[in-house]
Chains A and B, each alone.
Chain A
Amino acid sequence: MSPSRTETSLLWLLRALAAIAGAITLLIVVFLLVEAWPALRSPGFTHFLSDEAWFPSSSTPQFNIAPMVAGTVAATLGAMLLATPLGIAAALFCRFYAPPALASGFRRLLELLAGIPSVVYGFWGLVVLTPLIRQWAPPGQSLLAAVLILSLMILPTIALLSETALRSIPRSYLQGAAALGLSRWRTISGVALPAARCGIASAIMLAAGRAIGETMAVLMVAGNIVQVPDSIFAPVRTLTANIALELGYAMGGHRAALFVSGLMLLVLIVVLVTLSDWIMREEIHG
């Protein structure tokens, strides 16, 4: 192509904007590395996986963050497992099942749900949800509570973005399916969902990021015990909660250790992104 001069300069502007967007991540990574460096140098990274437990400010400090990695993974996975089908169902409801007025009302509701501060979710979880769970299995503040609250928080993201993905399917696809006499559900499962899968996948990715990174609400309902959860009713601590709980009062090595949990979180995200990237590519080529 031979774009005109304005086009070329606009294109460079776009590149600059994208570079800024990308650079933010780089800056954050550098920032985390700098802050975590003292702890990575001594005691060294292996301590973070091989120590007995997490007592970063005791006289013989211990820095095992593996249980928190497990807690983060468990809470995120649980929330994704719960929120993905619910979110997609909500999107399908909006698009194909609800009468128009109800659909737009339902969408408003999801938008509001997306804007409720995490403190409010956390507070609600602490006052309403955990006592309910406690009646089954004390202490109530548990992995389950974290999963439920997280699901609730990421559900609007999945639902709203999936809904727009569904909305942008060319009408001719649906008409084609209807012309074949397919039922509504078969049209959805056979035509609509596959056609929108890219948009839905990116919605799920965004939601997964949110679930991994969520702090306040999880902190208030998860119980925050540093342990590998042996049941869904066991209290867990996530990496984010670890930072939020202790950072305000951490000094020196303890503080640096908390930034290592931040780095660890980033590693988790990179693994997740790479994995999903790989799956998507497999699907395209396979």
Chain B
Amino acid sequence: MIDHTSPATPSPACEDSQGLRPWAQRRACCANLEPCIEVRDLVVRYGDKPALDRVTLTIPRGCITAVVGPSGCGKSSFLNTLNRLSDLTACCDVSGSVKFEGQEIVGTDLDLIALRRQVGMIFQKPNPFPLSIRENLTFPLQHHGMKKRADREAKMENMLRRVGLWNEVKDRLDAPALGLSGGQQQRLCLARALVLSPRVLLLDEPCSALDPLASAVVEDLIASLRGDYTVVIVTHNLAQARRIADHVAMFWLVDGAGTVVEHGSAANVFEAPANPITAAYIAGARG
């Protein structure tokens, strides 16, 4: 695969001066800190190769939690265990405990379809289905039991408006989704995830394949999800994490496997990192 990941160098749109709200305001939006997902001693290995080692982390409900860290430290593997997408990967072995709203999802025989309906996911590369724009949203709804066509259409319009795509595509809903631009495709994917009314949204570097302008639009969109959804976003872009995250989990490669070296509120992690690794990483990225 050719990697389209653009480097995390700050671009004009990601300037710290833009859109940064005071830390205090952010803390208020999720003050109660009820846990939505509780991860305990999570270990992931691909065959003999360990990817994650004893990750323990609590993801608070209604907040945006950013997962940061260098490439290859298991951030995406972590995300994939939260909706059991790791099942799709050959010889991926997961152990430990992940509780979603109190229910264990690792190693249990739970209804995956129900789980994934509640835990939506957006990928690094926009991946709309090779269907029409309309079908990309109505097709999942149809299969999750929304019988009436009018209901589906209403929901579709609703979500397209929510992601700011409606005005751009309302005249060509039956055109192939693959004809949209990268930013539009990613917003369509976001709408496709939201249309199922999930409680959690997992975002795997959702902006890294987009240009700065499209990236800014998607970022604003993600920020607007706060409160309505529990959002977990993996990002390389520390500036982005600073702008939108309430909580931050810092992943680092220790003894060949990724693990969490620090986590807490964004203010604490960014302004007063306790771990020297975190401090150096943030400082490096900042400098």
Are A and B physically bound partners? yes
Residues of A within 8 A of B (CB): 1-2, 4, 170, 172-173, 176
Determine if A173 and B111 form an interchain contact, defined as CB atoms under 8 angstroms apart: no
Determine if A2 and B2 form an interchain contact, defined as CB atoms under 8 angstroms apart: no
14 A–B contacts, CB within 8 A, in A order: A1-B87, A1-B112, A2-B109, A2-B110, A2-B111, A2-B112, A4-B111, A4-B113, A170-B1, A172-B1, A172-B2, A172-B4, A173-B2, A176-B2
Contacts of A173 in B (CB 8 A): 2
Contacts of B4 in A (CB 8 A): 172
Contacts of B113 in A (CB 8 A): 4
Minimum distance in angstroms from B110 CB to a CB of chain A = 7
For chain B, residues 248 to 278, give those with C-beta under 8 angstroms from any C-beta of chain A: none
Minimum distance in angstroms from A191 CB to a CB of chain B = 9
Contacts of A2 in B (CB 8 A): 109-112
Minimum distance in angstroms from B188 CB to a CB of chain A = 19
Bound CA span A170–B4, Å? 13
Apart from A2-B109, A2-B110, what are 11 other A-B pairs with CB-CB below 8 Å?
A1-B87, A1-B112, A2-B111, A2-B112, A4-B111, A170-B1, A172-B1, A172-B2, A172-B4, A173-B2, A176-B2
Total contacting residues, chain B, CB less than 8 A: 9
Contacts of B87 in A (CB 8 A): 1
Minimum distance in angstroms from B117 CB to a CB of chain A = 13
For chain B, residues 2 to 20, give those with C-beta under 8 angstroms from any C-beta of chain A: 2, 4
Closest to A175 in B: B2
Contacts of B1 in A (CB 8 A): 170, 172
Minimum distance in angstroms from A268 CB to a CB of chain B = 33
Contacts of A172 in B (CB 8 A): 1-2, 4
Closest to A2 in B: B109
Bound CA span A176–B112, Å? 37
Minimum distance in angstroms from A198 CB to a CB of chain B = 15
Closest 3 CB pairs of A and B: A176-B2, A2-B109, A1-B87
Bound CA span A172–B1, Å? 8
Minimum distance in angstroms from A182 CB to a CB of chain B = 13
Minimum distance in angstroms from B62 CB to a CB of chain A = 29
Contacts of A170 in B (CB 8 A): 1
Minimum distance in angstroms from A284 CB to a CB of chain B = 13
Closest to A172 in B: B2
Closest to B115 in A: A2
Bound CA span A4–B2, Å? 36
For chain B, residues 74 to 119, give those with C-beta under 8 angstroms from any C-beta of chain A: 87, 109-113
Bound CA span A176–B109, Å? 42
Minimum distance in angstroms from B141 CB to a CB of chain A = 18
Closest to A177 in B: B2
Contacts of A176 in B (CB 8 A): 2
**Interface membership of chain B positions 159-186, coded 1 if the CB is closer than 8 angstroms to chain A and 0 otherwise:** 0000000000000000000000000000
Contacts of B112 in A (CB 8 A): 1-2
Bound CA span A170–B110, Å? 35
Closest to A7 in B: B113
Closest to B110 in A: A2
Minimum distance in angstroms from A1 CB to a CB of chain B = 5
Contacts of A4 in B (CB 8 A): 111, 113
**Interface membership of chain B positions 118-146, coded 1 if the CB is closer than 8 angstroms to chain A and 0 otherwise:** 00000000000000000000000000000
Contacts of B2 in A (CB 8 A): 172-173, 176
Minimum distance in angstroms from B36 CB to a CB of chain A = 22
Closest to B87 in A: A1
Bound CA span A5–B272, Å? 52
Bound CA span A2–B2, Å? 33
Minimum distance in angstroms from A40 CB to a CB of chain B = 43
Bound CA span A2–B87, Å? 10
Minimum distance in angstroms from A74 CB to a CB of chain B = 41
Closest to B109 in A: A2
Bound CA span A75–B203, Å? 57
Bound CA span A4–B113, Å? 9
Closest to A176 in B: B2
Minimum distance in angstroms from B96 CB to a CB of chain A = 19
Minimum distance in angstroms from B128 CB to a CB of chain A = 15
Bound CA span A176–B111, Å? 40
Contacts of B109 in A (CB 8 A): 2
Minimum distance in angstroms from A174 CB to a CB of chain B = 10
Bound CA span A4–B112, Å? 9
Bound CA span A7–B4, Å? 36
Bound CA span A2–B113, Å? 9
Minimum distance in angstroms from B166 CB to a CB of chain A = 28
Bound CA span A4–B114, Å? 11
Which of A1, A2, A4, A172 has the most chain B CB atoms inside 10 A of its CB?
A: A2
Minimum distance in angstroms from A285 CB to a CB of chain B = 14
Minimum distance in angstroms from B115 CB to a CB of chain A = 10
